[in-house]
Structure 1
Amino acid sequence: MTRPLILNDDRLFPVEAGVRAVARRLYGLVKDLPIISPHGHTDPEWFATDASFGNATELLLAPDHYLYRMLYSQGIALEELGVPSKDGPSKADPREAWRVFAAHQHLFRGTPSAMWLAHVFSSVFGFEVALEASTADLYYDAINDKLATDVFRPRALFERFNIEALATTESPSDDLVHHRAIRASGWGGRVITAYRPDPVIDAEHEQFPEAMRRFAELSGQDVWSWKGYLAAHRIRRAAFAEMGATSTDHGHPTAATADLSASEAEALFKVIVSGAATPAQAELFRAQMLTEMAAMSLDDGLVMQIHPGSFRNHNARLFASHGRDKGADIPTGTDYVRALKPLLDRFGNETRLSVILFTLDETAYARELAPLAGHYPVLKLGPAWWFHDSPEGMRRFREQTTETAGFYNTVGFNDDTRAFLSIPARHDVARRVDCAFLARLVAEHRMAEDEAAELAVDLAYTLPKRAYKLDRAPASLAQSA
């Protein structure tokens, strides 16, 4: 007997009836607001070509490390799940991979993935029975049938999801051909890029040598000289801004920053490009480049995001066979107070620069991040991120940061996802959790309901739009005005 698939209208709302009623009213104000997705990892080629998605496995399972890392933890090989390796596309039969996925749905009970999947299956595809072994083929065939229709093409889904703006993430060695194609197509969807320079900043990145060669080619600069290297960044940042970028993004192992003299920085750079840098020198160069990137953001206006604290590719064997971003990134403890001091000594009081901080170390919320953002004009706090993009993680974030940093030193929500169809689900969860948190403040007489109503709209829509400068006309419109 199959189980029904039910999305309860009161999911994530408080249990107590009076507080739940307030949460319902607040949620009613925000549930249909446009989605601002200012940072993510969807593929711009989807929107450039508007080609139909292939099948259920290729779209929903194989790209989503939230899903296959759980299955891998239970001994299921990535090869069985359709996940590509360094050797190329998976040879697994996509239907069989989907059957494996369906048979293990119990592994996701209580996880954010279970909520996101239920939302996708119910709201996007219209299923009324749950995914399990007995319904695997029903799901697979029905999803594939719908993916073959025009209303399930990427642009149609973008519009159906009410996405007002969506940012992808590319490196300086990307030629942005897909973003140029989107721009040339005349389609009205606002899909922009974000500047992620890690492959040409991190000397320990496996793509560093090839990325540097491509960096030189695209910028036309001698990127092996310090002067040419910095000039290349400015040139590529300008090219990204032309394709709509309003932000940069930096995924460093730590939050370390440095402010070396020009001669010290140049000497360090010579060691970096020589290929002989020690781990300590690579870390110092990453630290210096955060400060250099902040200086460039002060000049060109790009918002700066710092995503530190992940020990990436922790599973050496999996990294060797399948490459990066395969679910083996593990959070680490992260210092912010001392690590950011060099950058803040130079730029902390700038009102024309915006630096958004994220963390995978929740112990830093109340001790470091909220006090820092509650003081320095340059700093804002990004939302609960990655492993903490969950109802409990979002609640902890609000509980530990609000009293010191308030709401307006945060930037609302961003979904940070590769899973395109989960974007509405993730934003819905964030809106519900924030409304539940605000409802509690109203019920405890710590805030009037009209204030909570204004805040709910700000958290869901106004703050991310403002923080990422998406409240300004897109470059293409500004140039034609």
Structure 2
Amino acid sequence: MKRLRLHDDRALPLDPAARDIAREIYAATRSLPLVCMHGHVDAAVLADDEPFPDPAAMFITGDHYVTRLIHAAGVPLEWLGVGDGPDVERDPRRIWRTFCEHWHLFRGTPSRFWLTHELVEVFGVDRAPSPGTADLLYDELCERLAESRFRPQALFERFGIEVLATTDAALADLAAHRRLAEDGWGARVIPTFRPDSLVQLGHPGWAGEVAELGRRTGVDTATYDGYLAALRQRRQDFVAAGALATDHGHESAGSEPLPAQEARRIYAAALRGQIGAAEQAAFAGHMLFEFARMSCADGLVLQLHPGVLRNHHAGMLRRFGPDRGFDIPVATEFTRALRPLLEAFGHEPRFRMVVFTVDETSYSRELAPLAGVYPALHLGAPWWFLDSPGGLRRFREAVTDAAGFYRTAGFVDDTRAFASIPARHDLARRIDAGYLAELVAGHLLDLDEATETAIDLAYGIPRRLYQRADQA
């Protein structure tokens, strides 16, 4: 029976001299607290603190990194427990068997690294998934999940998480966050304001959501000016709940402001259902500019995740909903797109912006030079298709020349899979240790500087960047 193994030197440099240095640097960061400023864990999981139901729910069904690759091999998503229809598999053991039958698909992917770390390091099991071990492994994991030390809050403590930011729709009731705050977790699990559906004028439920925004805030959203006032009020609700950031998943990085009268006209036309694609895009860019203005006022860090064509397959969206692995990268332009926003707010002391991309070609050409000159702009870690050993390494190689280390924003795990959080941070720390070690081995950096930088990348930088603006 094949056993899983975590090698002590995994993801460290192959060159022996650099590897020895990397070990020393990594040793200084491996036990640092985790600062998780962007992710998708549901706060209710922690507020309820109920045992995870089964291995399929823990590792498979809610993790589109896992389901998408098995689906690409021809396996219906229903077989993995995804969806609500009559054909959806409800037996978690059968779902687990399907996963184990396709374990080989993850070779060479970051998911293989994370899953192996979860199984071995978090759950203490070492049977390699396979058709022959599926049931034994399932039963072993069920025994672990029944223990109190594997409940969400216990794992949170064991992972060493100092702060976990969730990502919450602008209309979220934040009830789970209130319950956590009442239990003393308010500063450790915090919401992030994500208003995407309220600025996507072509979204089928947009008018209804805008009306609900008005009801929740007590502000008349029948006018554009009321809409802006309601968004400001909702942001304050999030600030009161502990939020430190906003998050925006626009398709482009466009930030051209519209004249006020034109914004009012487009908004009114959208309420009537008379809006075209060009007007939708123009309004989204205008609202990104307005959200930057709001961040200058309330101090929330603005996180931008552009360059993804979301829900690439309309039929799959209708059947299974969003976030099923069908968000596909597109080429993204930043230099001209962000110019209006950065000209207006790039030197504002209270404004902080973190830009992420899945278009690697823009790292050295656009984003690093921009972050290397605008005080407000910081570079987010690789995400989605790039949070891999190679992607993390290429990021450092592409941005360090123009932006250095201190214009980056720290690592974000960007995950719905709670148990994968320490695995993702561990991988990032190993890659950074290796990159810094090679600078030391090449006599380009002293070891004490490299170690200090590694500690800052893992902990110091995100803690400073995301602190409240009045404390910065």
Same fold (TM over 0.5): yes
Report Cα offsets for 1:222-248 as digits up to 9, x if no partner.
112111101111111011011110000
Q: Retained in 2: the 8 A contact 1:155–1:189?
A: no
Mapped partners of 2:196, 2:153: distance in 1: 29
What's 1:193 paired with? 191
Quick one: which amino acid aligns to residue 439 of structure 1? A
Q: Retained in 2: the 8 A contact 1:250–1:307?
A: yes
Mapped partners of 1:196, 1:188: distance in 2: 19
In structure 2, the CA distance between the partners of 1:93 and 1:471, relative to structure 1 (3 Å rule), is farther
In structure 2, the CA distance between the partners of 1:124 and 1:22, relative to structure 1 (3 Å rule), is same
Structure 1: unaligned runs, 5 residues or longer? 474-481
Mapped partners of 2:208, 2:171: distance in 1: 9
Mapped partners of 1:472, 1:48: distance in 2: 29
Q: 1:259 aligns with which of 251, 257, 270?
A: 257
The correspondence of residues 384-399 of structure 1 with structure 2, limited to 5 A, is 384-399=382-397
What's 1:65 paired with? 64
Quick one: which amino acid aligns to residue 321 of structure 1? R
Q: 2:114 aligns with which of 106, 113, 116?
A: 116
What's 2:230 paired with? 232
Q: Retained in 1: the 8 A contact 2:168–2:194?
A: yes
What's 2:46 paired with? 47
- 1:469 has 2:467 as partner: yes
CA shift for structure 1 position 369: 0.4
Mapped partners of 1:54, 1:218: distance in 2: 33
Q: How many residues align?
A: 471
Identity percentage of aligned residues: 47
CA shift for structure 1 position 272: 2.4
Q: Retained in 1: the 8 A contact 2:83–2:319?
A: no
Mapped partners of 1:56, 1:356: distance in 2: 35
What's 2:331 paired with? 333
Quick one: which amino acid aligns to residue 347 of structure 1? F
Which runs of at least 4 in structure 1 moved beyond 6 Å after TM superposition? Answer: 470-473
What's 1:476 paired with? none
Quick one: which amino acid aligns to residue 219 of structure 1? T
- 1:351 has 2:349 as partner: yes
Q: Retained in 1: the 8 A contact 2:244–2:468?
A: yes
Mapped partners of 1:458, 1:14: distance in 2: 21
Mapped partners of 1:417, 1:89: distance in 2: 27
CA shift for structure 1 position 189: 6.9
The correspondence of residues 61-460 of structure 1 with structure 2, limited to 5 A, is 61-85=60-84, 87=85, 90-187=88-185, 190-460=188-458
Q: Retained in 2: the 8 A contact 1:349–1:377?
A: yes
Q: What SS class does the counterpart of residue 134 from structure 1 fall into?
A: coil
Mapped partners of 2:447, 2:239: distance in 1: 40
Q: What SS class does the counterpart of residue 303 from structure 2 fall into?
A: strand
CA shift for structure 1 position 207: 3.7
Q: Retained in 2: the 8 A contact 1:258–1:291?
A: yes
CA shift for structure 1 position 470: 6.8
Q: CA RMSD in A?
A: 1.5
Mapped partners of 2:462, 2:274: distance in 1: 41
Quick one: which amino acid aligns to residue 364 of structure 2? A
Quick one: which amino acid aligns to residue 3 of structure 2? P
Moved more, 104-113 or 181-190: 181-190
Quick one: which amino acid aligns to residue 45 of structure 2? W
What's 1:479 paired with? none
Mapped partners of 2:86, 2:261: distance in 1: 44
In structure 2, the CA distance between the partners of 1:206 and 1:437, relative to structure 1 (3 Å rule), is farther
CA shift for structure 1 position 83: 1.3
Report Cα offsets for 1:228-287 as digits up to 9, x if no partner.
101111111011011110000000011111122222222222122222111111111110
Structure 2: unaligned runs, 5 residues or longer? none
Report Cα offsets for 1:342-364 as digits up to 9, x if no partner.
11121122222001111111000
Q: Retained in 2: the 8 A contact 1:374–1:405?
A: yes
Moved more, 201-210 or 382-391: 201-210
Quick one: which amino acid aligns to residue 111 of structure 1? T
CA shift for structure 1 position 419: 0.5
Q: Retained in 1: the 8 A contact 2:307–2:357?
A: yes
